[in-house]
Amino acid sequence: MTGKTHIIGGVATGLALAHFTNYDPVLLTAAGALGGLIPDICHGGSKIGRKAPLLSKIISTLFGHRTFTHSLLFLIIINSLLAAFLPNGSIKAGILAGMISHIVLDAGTKKGIKLFYPLKIPVRLPLTTRTGSAAEQAVFALISAVAIYYGLEAFGGYRLF
């Protein structure tokens, strides 16, 4: 999936989480957008990889793309680091929600992900697409609608259904 799809996925997930929790929706949304980009630190051409090229190169060299940074192990490590060093629950929850949305979205690609890294078992959703395809644009539109729905509720006080 492209960076814009991962950003909107993180935003939508953060806003949906705000609906079901008492976390701050502004912090959840911003942290969700950031979390939606973090797993692609393993790819030098990604939005986050271009911001931290040295770290991206090291991670890519050690692990490759869509392996360690797209795994449950990585989520556990990030969760532990956030718990140890970040006192704000809204930001922690938003980052993790965004990361989870990223992993789920990439599981919907033809190559899939290595969710159980270091095991090399590829994990894919039943329906897959190619990055940048028309199907991804449809996914982007659907996720955008989810973000608008929960955003109207979180920031405008509107409940559509």
**pLDDT tens across the length of the chain (161 residues):** 899 999 999 999 999 999 999 999 999 999 999 999 999 999 999 999 999 999 999 999 999 999 999 999 999 999 999 999 999 999 999 999 999 999 999 999 999 999 999 999 999 999 999 988 999 999 999 999 999 999 998 887 776 66
Q: What is the DSSP string of 25-59?
A: HHHHHHHHHHHTTGGGGG-TTSHHHHHSHHHHHHH
pTM: 0.93
Where does residue 123 fall: left (phi above 0), alpha (psi -120 to 50 degrees), or beta otherwise? Answer: beta
